[in-house]
């Protein structure tokens, strides 16, 4: 960390908060989160230049004992050694993990065998029936998905007869998340309590125009023009104008 000269600036901090000149800052600060006292905005000079500036300070320069400097140099050395050692162990671990990953991947490729058997053994006619039952739900989901702009993926549903005579439905969890009905109900509750009937809400336009109404010279409302009015009509008019001009040019040319 660079040592910064204390400056008179917007935070005239107390004397304790000012950064010490002589000692380099604790090394932890570099790696961890730098919390705490904003040192008053200061000069960033490389450490070599500090001798030149010392005369300008009022306080006597700090005494730095040999022992503390030596301790810090040792600390620095130790940290560098730590880093190198850590690098090596990390590399080793990475290699080990990759090996394990390859083995794992080979095993994981297939679903558990039992489930696979049942899925393939299930009668194929069921596949046609079950989408029919969930058709409405699917359609709604598909519509919502299309609105969100993502690709529409069919919900894979298959009825599976297992040994214990219960039937399971395999559904994609990803499609369920976003349409959790409880979450929708909660959001609707909040919206109703804040903006629903019975609340005393007004439009932004009216809110911003209150001041305009009370001025000595009354001004128009903040959003006086409604740009959203008649968009379709204006577009039609533009297209018609273009076509009319084109036709007019053609007849003029032909004359």
Partner 1 sequence: MGEFKVHRVRFFNYVPPGIRCVAYNNQSNRLAVSRTDGTVEIYNLSANYFQEKFFPGHESRATEALCWAEGQRLFSAGLNGEILEYDLQALNVKYALDAFGGPIWSMTASPSGSQLLVSKRLLVGCEDGSVKLFQITPDNIQFERNFDRQKSSAVRKMIVDRQYMGVSKRKCIVWGVAFLSDGTIISVDSAGKVQFWDSATGTLVKSHLISNADVQSIAVADQEDSFVVGTAEGTIFHFQLVSVTSNSSEKQWVRTKPFQHHTHDVRAVAHSPTALISGGTDTHLVIRPLMEKVEVKNYDAALRKITFPHRCLISCSKKKQLLLFQFAHHLELWRLGSTVATGKNGDTLPLSKNADHLLHLKTKGPENIICSCISPCGSWIAYSTVSRVFLYRLNYERDNINLKRVSKMPAFLRSALQIMFSEDSKKLFVASNQGSLHIFQLLEGSFKHLHTFQPQSGTVEAMCLLAVSPDGNWLAASGTSAGVHVYNVKHLKLHCTVPAYNFPVTALAIAPITNNLVIAHSDQQVFEYSIPEKQYTEWSRNIQKQGFHHLWLQRDTPITHISFHPKRPMHILLHDAYMFCIIDKSLPLPNDKTLLYNPLPPTNESDVFRRRTAHAFKISKIYKPLLFMDLLDERTLVAVERPLDDIIAQLPPPIKKKKFGT
Site for partner 1, rule CB under 8 A: 1-2, 4, 7-12, 29-39, 41-46, 82-83, 86-87, 90, 148-151, 177-178, 180, 182-183, 186-187, 193-195, 198-208, 210, 213-214, 222-223
Of the pair 23, 114, the CB lying nearest partner 1 is at: 23
The CB-of-166 to partner 1 minimum distance in angstroms stands at: 23
Contact indicator for 23, 64 with CB cutoff of 8 Å: yes
Of the pair 90, 170, the CB lying nearest partner 1 is at: 90
Whole-angstrom distance, CA of residue 240 vs CA of residue 2: 69
Of the pair 187, 248, the CB lying nearest partner 1 is at: 187
The CB-of-218 to partner 1 minimum distance in angstroms stands at: 10
Hey, what are 245's tokens?
Answer: 């001009």
Of the pair 116, 178, the CB lying nearest partner 1 is at: 178
The CB-of-211 to partner 1 minimum distance in angstroms stands at: 9
Cα three-residue angle 35-39-43, rounded to 5 degrees: 130
The CB-of-42 to partner 1 minimum distance in angstroms stands at: 7
Whole-angstrom distance, CA of residue 96 vs CA of residue 88: 13
Query: What's phi and psi for 246, nearest 5 deg?
Result: -60, -45
Whole-angstrom distance, CA of residue 7 vs CA of residue 13: 10
Whole-angstrom distance, CA of residue 156 vs CA of residue 172: 7
Secondary structure (3-state) at 134: coil
Of the pair 91, 116, the CB lying nearest partner 1 is at: 91
The CB-of-234 to partner 1 minimum distance in angstroms stands at: 16
The CB-of-184 to partner 1 minimum distance in angstroms stands at: 9
Of the pair 34, 137, the CB lying nearest partner 1 is at: 34
Cα three-residue angle 245-247-250, rounded to 5 degrees: 110
Whole-angstrom distance, CA of residue 239 vs CA of residue 227: 18
The CB-of-35 to partner 1 minimum distance in angstroms stands at: 5
Cα three-residue angle 123-127-130, rounded to 5 degrees: 120
What is the sign, positive or negative, of the torsion defined by CA atoms of 7, 8, 10, 11? positive
């Amino acid at each position: 960390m660079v040592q910064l000269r204390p400056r008179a600036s917007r935070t005239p901090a107390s004397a304790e908060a000012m950064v010490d000149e002589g000692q380099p800052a604790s090394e932890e600060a570099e790696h961890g989160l730098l919390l705490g006292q904003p040192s008053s905005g200061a000069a960033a000079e490389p450490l070599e230049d500090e001798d030149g500036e010392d005369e300008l300070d009022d306080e006597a320069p700090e005494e730095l004992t040999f022992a503390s400097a030596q301790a810090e140099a040792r600390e620095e050395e130790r940290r560098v050694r730590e880093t190198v050692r850590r690098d090596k162990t990390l590399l080793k671990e990475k290699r080990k993990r990759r090996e394990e990953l390859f083995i794992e991947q080979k095993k994981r490729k297939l679903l558990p065998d039992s489930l696979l058997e049942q899925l393939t053994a299930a009668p194929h006619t069921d596949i046609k029936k079950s989408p029919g039952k969930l058709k409405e739900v699917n359609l709604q989901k598909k519509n919502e998905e299309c609105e969100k702009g993502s690709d529409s993926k069919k919900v894979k549903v298959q009825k599976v007869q297992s040994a214990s005579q219960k039937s399971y439905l395999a559904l994609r969890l990803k499609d369920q998340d976003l349409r959790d009905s409880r979450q929708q109900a909660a959001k609707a509750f909040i919206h109703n309590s804040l903006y629903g009937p019975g609340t005393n809400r007004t439009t932004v336009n009216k809110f911003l125009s209150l001041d305009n109404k009370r001025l000595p010279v009354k001004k128009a409302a903040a959003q006086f023009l409604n740009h959203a009015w008649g968009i379709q009509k204006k577009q039609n008019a533009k297209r018609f104008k273009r076509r009319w001009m084109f036709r007019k040019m053609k007849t003029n040319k032909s004359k």
